[in-house]
């Protein structure tokens, strides 16, 4: 079928089991200030079988290698409870004019040896490492996805940003130790 014979409403679907280079670079924990506003949706399944969505910012996500994603969650977050229980989730977001959905299998990250006080200072975060089962990037030919959910840091933005830097640094250590 030639390009002119492909319907304009056709969808392009890229399937992957390793992070594409652009995403791996985006989630590498660097230049967080330029990525403020990025929002990902973590969809988990709770104890009652209900799907729940948690919104995550760039300071809660880190990709240490081609197949993993590390998360830093508040210990009281329902996503933390759901991941501890069933260890499966989907991460969805918009990046580079595409809608991404990544299915992951999670394991808790052990506390970094000698960093108990650092973790306590960060609010007792619960950290997980997820391995990609499958990922999809969807694009349509008739439109460009220009953004997904985005946010702006409000009161306490400097403190939030500093916490994100510390959280991602902790995730880097935990991922390296795992």
CATH number, domain with residue 122: 2.30.110.10
> Residue 138 contacts by C-beta under 8 Å, 6 or more apart in sequence?
11, 12, 13, 14, 98, 99, 100, 101
Question: Do residues 35 and 71 make contact, with C-beta atoms less than 8 angstroms apart?
Answer: no
Would you call 117 helix, strand, or coil by DSSP? helix
On whether residue 4 sits in a domain, the answer given is no
Chain segment 7-59, per-residue pLDDT in tens: 555 679 999 999 999 999 999 999 999 999 999 999 999 989 999 999 999 99
Please report whether residue 3 resides in a domain. Answer: no
- Classify residue 85: in a domain, yes or no: yes
Task: Give me the domain span that covers residue 153.
Answer: 10-177
Q: Does the structure show a pLDDT above 70 at 5?
A: no
Q: Is 51 a member of any domain? A: yes
Give the count of domains, the chain. 1
Residue of 35, 32, 67 lying closest to 175 (CA atoms): 67
Q: Is residue 42 part of a domain?
A: yes
Distance CA 144, CA 141 (A): 8
- Write down the pTM of the prediction: 0.86
């Amino acid at each position: 079928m030639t390009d002119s014979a492909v319907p304009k409403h056709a969808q392009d679907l890229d399937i992957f089991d390793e992070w594409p280079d652009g995403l791996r670079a985006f989630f590498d924990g660097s230049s967080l200030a330029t990525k403020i506003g990025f929002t990902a949706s973590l969809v988990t399944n709770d104890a009652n079988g209900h799907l729940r969505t948690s919104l995550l910012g760039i300071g809660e996500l880190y990709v240490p290698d081609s197949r993993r994603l590390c998360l830093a969650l508040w210990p009281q977050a329902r996503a933390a409870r759901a991941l501890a229980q069933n260890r499966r989730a989907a991460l969805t977001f918009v990046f580079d004019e595409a809608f991404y959905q990544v299915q992951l299998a999670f394991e808790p990250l052990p506390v970094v040896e000698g960093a108990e006080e650092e973790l306590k200072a960060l609010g007792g975060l619960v950290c997980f490492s997820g391995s990609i089962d499958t990922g999809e990037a969807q694009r349509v030919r008739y439109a460009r996805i220009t953004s997904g959910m985005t946010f702006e840091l409000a009161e306490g933005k400097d403190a939030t940003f500093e916490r994100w830097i510390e959280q991602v640094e902790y995730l880097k250590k935990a991922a390296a130790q795992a």
